[in-house]
């Protein structure tokens, strides 16, 4: 890569259905709803995966792991994220930090934030201190606020593993 640092932006959204638990950030959160999707529908890990892939200008999660491929049915989204990290490293880069916002009316996510941070740090192989996770409600507005959907937004910073060489 020709840049010593790069930034990636990720976003994902899923409809919600009755019955829990809610898979989020690589853990099962006790809830009366679950995200609907082809894989385990982990909206947060999907957004992180897309942020990392975007930071290295590679195809998005939908092109790498299409929902038309039965191998991805009910697949653990940690697999997708691990592949994105592998690709970042293949480009001579390392994850510096990531900042995540989860948009969900229910369940209340504050009690689960530290477990989510720890799981993401484990998958990405970075310190927990480099993983920011916060949650916001939809204030009763739109699909998020009416608890019909969940979404996540992520920004990631990656940096060169070694200083760039002089041309």
CA dist 125 and 121 (Å) reads 5
- pLDDT value at residue 64: 82
Q: Which residues contact 139 (CB under 8 A, 6 or more apart)?
A: 145
In a domain, 77, yes or no: yes
In a domain, 136, yes or no: yes
In a domain, 58, yes or no: yes
Domain count, the chain: 1
In a domain, 85, yes or no: yes
CB 128 within 8 A of CB 58: no
Residue 145: give its domain's CATH number. 3.30.1330.50
In a domain, 165, yes or no: no
In a domain, 167, yes or no: no
Question: In which domain, by residue range, is 152 found?
Answer: 5-160
- pLDDT value at residue 71: 80
In a domain, 123, yes or no: yes
- pLDDT value at residue 166: 54
CA dist 145 and 156 (Å) reads 26
Report the predicted TM-score, pTM, of the whole model to 2 decimal places.
0.93
In a domain, 55, yes or no: yes
What is the mean pLDDT of each successive set of 10 residues along the chain, which is 167 residues long? 87 95 97 92 97 96 81 84 96 97 95 98 98 96 96 98 60
CB atoms within 10 A of CB 162: 8
Q: Is 83 left (phi over 0), alpha (psi -120 to 50) or beta?
A: alpha
Q: Which is nearest to 77 in space by CA: 26, 137, 149? A: 26
């Amino acid at each position: 890569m020709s840049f010593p640092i790069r930034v990636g932006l990720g976003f994902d959204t899923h409809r919600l259905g009755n019955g829990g638990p809610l898979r989020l950030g690589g853990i099962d959160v006790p809830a009366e709803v679950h995200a609907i999707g082809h894989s385990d529908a982990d909206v947060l890990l999907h957004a992180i995966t897309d942020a990392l892939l975007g930071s290295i200008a590679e195809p998005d999660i939908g092109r790498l792991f299409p929902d038309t491929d039965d191998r991805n049915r009910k697949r653990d989204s940690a697999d997708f994220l691990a592949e994105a990290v592998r690709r970042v490293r293949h480009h001579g880069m390392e994850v510096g930090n990531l900042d995540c916002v989860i948009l969900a009316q229910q369940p209340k996510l504050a009690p689960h934030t530290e477990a989510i941070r720890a799981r993401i740090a484990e998958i990405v192989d970075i310190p927990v201190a480099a993983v920011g996770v916060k949650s916001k409600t939809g204030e009763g507005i739109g699909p998020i606020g009416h608890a019909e959907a969940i979404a996540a937004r992520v920004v990631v910073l990656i940096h060169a593993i070694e200083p760039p060489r002089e041309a």
